[in-house]
């Protein structure tokens, strides 16, 4: 199963991706997580990406697309994958389409988690993330079992630098201008599915499973 997951910042992509990846046994590939790992390791890719991420802007397409293509050619992607946060521009979507076509492959579903802007700020400012395994929590909506510790791996959870109010606003604007056009793109391809992301976390997951079926 090959799935694209998209939606505004804070829609719950990362939260749902963890569950989808477990349920359907496919790797969860988050471009945001890959960039953050490179930033923490201070790699050349990380140094480049940080310039954009800290401002809430998109990392340039050519950097992002090459990184994803490399990742998709790894062994664990042979039976499918879940892309979280990629594509994020129409150019990225076209590049993914061409990449798949060259390999005689197709996407199964492009899943939009829809959440109106007024929900986003509270979600982002209350978010805590695990720097080791990428798990995402919320101080009110989804707190870790032990305060400040990741349920999965026990690391101390932290606040993402780009979750400040100002940067969140910029990320929302970037989403509207550059990522929202993907709705039309995937509608035309006949792949678009929409989930109401304002429901509780487990309800969103149930809606997603209804769409993806019991493969």
Task: State the nearest-atom distance from the C-beta of 103 to Mg ion, in Å.
Answer: 27
Q: How far is the CB of 136 from ligand AP5 (least distance, A)?
A: 4
The reply to whether 110 sits near ligand AP5 by the rule CB under 6 A is no
Work out how close the CB of 120 gets to ligand AP5 at its nearest, in angstroms, rounded to a whole number: 8
127 is known to lie in a ligand binding site: yes
| Cα–Cα dist 160/149, whole Å | 15
The conformation of residue 103, written as its DSSP 8-state character, comes to T
Helices (H), 25-150: 31-40, 44-53, 61-72, 90-102, 117-125
- CA dihedral (75, 80, 81, 86) positive or negative: positive
10 annotated among ligand-binding-site residues: yes
| Residue 52 in the binding site for ligand AP5 (CB under 6 A) | yes
Maximum Cα–Cα distance across the chain: 48
Question: According to the binding rule CB under 6 A, does residue 15 interact with ligand AP5?
Answer: yes
Applying CB under 6 A, among 112, 144, 157, 171 the residue interacting with ligand AP5 is 171
Quickly tell me which residue has 């509207």 as its tokens.
176
Give min distance, CB of 107 to ligand AP5, in A: 15
Give yes or no for a contact between 29 and 84, defined as CB atoms under 8 angstroms apart: yes
- Residue 14 sits in the site that holds Mg ion (CB under 5 A): yes
Give, as ranges, the residues between 83 and 142 that touch Zn ion (CB under 5 A).
130, 132-133, 135
Count CA within 13 A, CB hemisphere, residue 151. 10
Stretch that binds ligand AP5, among 27-35, 38-46, 148-156, 207-215 (CB under 6 A): 27-35
Whether residue 129 contacts residue 40, with contact meaning beta carbons closer than 8 Å, is answered with: no
**Candidate residues 32, 107, 144, 150; the one interacting with ligand AP5 per rule CB under 6 A:** 32
Q: What are residue 123's phi and psi, to 5 degrees?
A: -65, -40
Q: Tell me the C-alpha to C-alpha distance, in Å, between residue 211 and each of 20, 96, 111.
A: 12, 22, 9
Output the CA angle 10-11-16, nearest 5 degrees. Answer: 110
The 148-187 contact track toward Zn ion, x by CB under 5 A, reads: --x-xx-x--------------------------------
Which residue ranges make up the site for Mg ion (CB under 5 A)?
13-14
Binding footprint of Zn ion on the chain (CB under 5 A): 130, 132-133, 135, 150, 152-153, 155
Enzyme catalytic residues: 13, 88, 127, 160, 171
Binding residues for AMP: 31, 36, 57-59, 85-88, 92, 160, 171
């Amino acid at each position: 199963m090959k799935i694209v997951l998209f939606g505004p910042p804070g829609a719950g992509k990362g939260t749902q991706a963890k569950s989808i990846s477990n349920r359907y046994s496919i790797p969860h590939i988050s471009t945001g997580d890959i960039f953050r790992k490179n930033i923490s390791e201070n790699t050349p890719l990380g140094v480049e990406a940080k310039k954009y991420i800290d401002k809430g802007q998109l990392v340039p397409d050519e950097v992002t697309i090459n990184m994803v293509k490399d990742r998709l050619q790894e062994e664990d992607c042979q039976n499918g994958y879940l892309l979280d946060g990629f594509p994020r521009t129409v150019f990225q979507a076209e590049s993914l389409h061409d990449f798949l076509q060259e390999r005689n492959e197709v996407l199964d579903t492009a899943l939009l988690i829809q959440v109106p802007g007024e929900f986003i700020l509270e979600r982002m400012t209350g978010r805590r993330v695990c720097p080791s395994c990428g798990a995402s929590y919320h101080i009110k909506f989804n707190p870790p079992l032990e305060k400040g510790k990741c349920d999965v791996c026990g690391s101390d959870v932290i606040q993402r630098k780009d979750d400040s109010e100002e940067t969140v606003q910029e990320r929302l604007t970037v989403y509207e201008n550059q990522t929202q056009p993907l709705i039309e793109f995937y509608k035309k391809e006949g792949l678009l599915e929409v989930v109401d992301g304002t429901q509780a976390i487990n309800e969103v997951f149930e809606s997603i499973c209804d769409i993806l079926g019991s493969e």
